[in-house]
């Protein structure tokens, strides 16, 4: 390996290390740090480093593990980490992430809305909130629909998040495969699958997971169109 390659590897290692520390400090800033939370964050960062090393040195692991199936292993490990984090840490939904739950209980207590209003002075706090953040309004409707089926619990929403993450990893892999190599696609999915904040975020009731999944679906469809553009134009003539 020449000096330029060695220097490049060192730069990447330093970058990942510094970025990991910043992510860790950002995640722990302003909250009471419990030992189990700190241990989780550190162990997840170690997972990312291990994943990067495996991808970069895959030839050394080829005899022990069939690289053709490595993407499946990365995805499975990511889902296991998300499930383990939610079960062991049991994070509570607060702030904006608890709005839909609060709104559900509010509607049960008041019996719902009898009159529709668009006057700001007559709106309650929930109407004002969802008027300002319409994306959360649609997500609230989805959550309340699931609440009617399974009861007011964050568990079904977290399961939906994990299904969306599973879809994100699969679609992301296929999109990158259209632009680059299999190893690079596996590396990108590994980062999303094992990165600490991505694992922790799956436990948060948020529309982000659904939105990202469908945006990637749209991107995949666009790439499919680009590849078959000439055939589509001929068929439309």
Q: What is the pLDDT along the chain (237 residues), one digit of tens a residue?
A: 556 655 666 666 676 666 666 666 655 554 444 555 566 666 666 766 776 676 666 666 555 445 567 788 889 989 998 998 888 877 877 777 778 888 888 888 887 777 777 777 778 888 888 777 777 778 888 888 888 888 888 888 899 999 999 999 999 999 988 887 777 788 788 888 888 778 888 888 888 899 999 999 999 988 888 877 777 666 666
Listed residue (153, 147, 113, 152) closest to 130, CA to CA = 113
Q: Which residue has the tokens 């699958």?
A: 193
Instruction: Give the number of C-alpha atoms closer than 13 A to the C-alpha of residue 28, restricted to the C-beta side.
Output: 18
**Alpha carbons 40 and 48: distance in angstroms, whole number:** 12
Listed residue (163, 175, 173) closest to 222, CA to CA = 175
Q: Which residue has the tokens 């990158």?
A: 176
Backbone angles phi, psi at 22, to 5 degrees: -60, -45
Q: Which residue has the tokens 């692991």?
A: 61
* pTM of the model as a whole: 0.69
**Alpha carbons 103 and 109: distance in angstroms, whole number:** 10
């Amino acid at each position: 390996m020449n000096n330029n390659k060695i220097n490049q590897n060192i730069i990447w290692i330093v970058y990942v290390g510094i970025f990991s520390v910043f992510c860790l400090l950002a995640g722990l800033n302003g909250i009471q740090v419990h030992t189990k939370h700190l241990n989780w964050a550190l162990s997840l960062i170690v997972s990312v480093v291990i994943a990067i090393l495996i991808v970069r040195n895959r030839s050394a692991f080829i005899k022990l593990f069939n690289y053709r199936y490595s993407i499946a292993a990365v995805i499975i490990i990511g889902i296991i980490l998300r499930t383990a984090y939610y079960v062991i840490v049991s994070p509570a939904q607060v702030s904006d992430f608890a709005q839909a739950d609060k709104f559900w209980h509010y509607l049960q207590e008041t019996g719902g809305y009898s009159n529709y209003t668009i006057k700001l002075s007559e709106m309650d706090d929930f109407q004002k909130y969802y008027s300002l953040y319409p994306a959360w309004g649609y997500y609230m409707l989805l959550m309340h629909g699931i609440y009617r089926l399974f009861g007011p619990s964050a568990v079904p929403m977290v399961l939906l998040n994990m299904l969306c993450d599973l879809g994100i990893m699969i679609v992301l892999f296929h999109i990158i495969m259209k632009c680059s190599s299999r190893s690079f696609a596996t590396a990108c999915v590994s980062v999303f699958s094992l990165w600490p904040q991505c694992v922790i975020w799956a436990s948060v009731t948020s529309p982000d997971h659904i939105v990202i999944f469908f945006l990637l679906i749209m991107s995949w469809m666009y790439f499919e169109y680009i590849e078959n553009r000439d055939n589509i134009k001929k068929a439309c003539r």
